Amino acid sequence: VQLQASGGGLVQAGGSLKLSCAASGDTVSTYTMAWFRQAPGKERELVAAIRQRASNTWYIDNVKGRFTISRDNAKNTVNLQMNSLKPEDTAVYYCAARWSWSVTPSSWSSEDFAYWGQGTLVTVSS
């Protein structure tokens, strides 16, 4: 599967952005899909994930209630709706795919994902 992320940009604190990850070569419902982010000088971290062929989702604590990951099977995309954005959300965001879910998404790292899109930059100004 090939992934292409889009939707990043510059937004003021408190604003919203919607990121999209378009898949080609396979269907997004086949994979557990996720969004990672990497801020300058920091390690890449898992932000949100959605289980293949199911509605199970997972979020890192500091985005719960603000971010929503969803899958659009008709468009073959996975989206990340980001509301109430904060300056600390500033990062390059990446979409990624892996074959399976597990009970501990919090333990996943970049190495657990086989497929990656290019990053899209999100900048939140204060």
Please state the rounded mean pLDDT for residues 112-124. 97
Return the pLDDT at 88.
97
Q: Indicate the pLDDT class of residue 78, thresholds 50, 70 and 90.
A: very high
CA gap 98, 112 in Å, rounded: 7
pLDDT at 103 > cutoff 90: no
pLDDT of residue 37: 98
Give residue-wise pLDDT tens across range 19-38: 999 999 999 999 999 999 99
Across the range 39-58, mean pLDDT stands at 95
The torsion angle over the Cα atoms of residues 87, 89, 91 and 93, rounded to 10 degrees, is -150
End-to-end CA distance of the chain: 37
